[in-house]
Amino acid sequence: MTSPEVPSVPVDEVPAEFDTEPGSSAILLDVREDDEWQLGHAPGAVHMPMADVPARVDELDYDAEIYVVCRQGGRSIQVVRYLTHVGFDAFHVSGGMVAWQQSGRPLAGPGGGEAKIY
């Protein structure tokens, strides 16, 4: 899923590593629900369900590039619209975690087990 007015990048253009510490240059923000996150997520991602983003926006670094991901793209487009509106440098990750898994990017599963996105 894509939207012409939302900055988007394909999975292969997302930086390989993320730093969750303040002052990092890139953040992968996973806006899926808790149950989706528990099934599998990208190592180093920050988990913040979409509904929580407005209340928790101060936890994000305005100086970092924020790559927003959900399952397939619908929620992340909405979050990127919001984040860019309030001054963040944010990008929608095209295809979401489904594309992430299909591309062979690393995944963390529940309790160190196998991750399942789809």
State the catalytic residues.
70
In the predicted model, is pLDDT for residue 10 greater than 90? Answer: yes
In the predicted model, is pLDDT for residue 116 greater than 90? Answer: no
Query: What's the whole-model pTM score?
Result: 0.91
In the predicted model, is pLDDT for residue 111 greater than 60? Answer: yes
Q: Tokens 């996150």 appear where?
A: 37
Convert the pLDDT of each residue in 19-51 to its tens digit: 555 555 899 999 999 999 999 999 999 999 999
pLDDT, averaged across the chain: 91
CA distance 36 to 72: 12
| Domain spanning 8-15+22-112: CATH 3.40.250.10 | yes
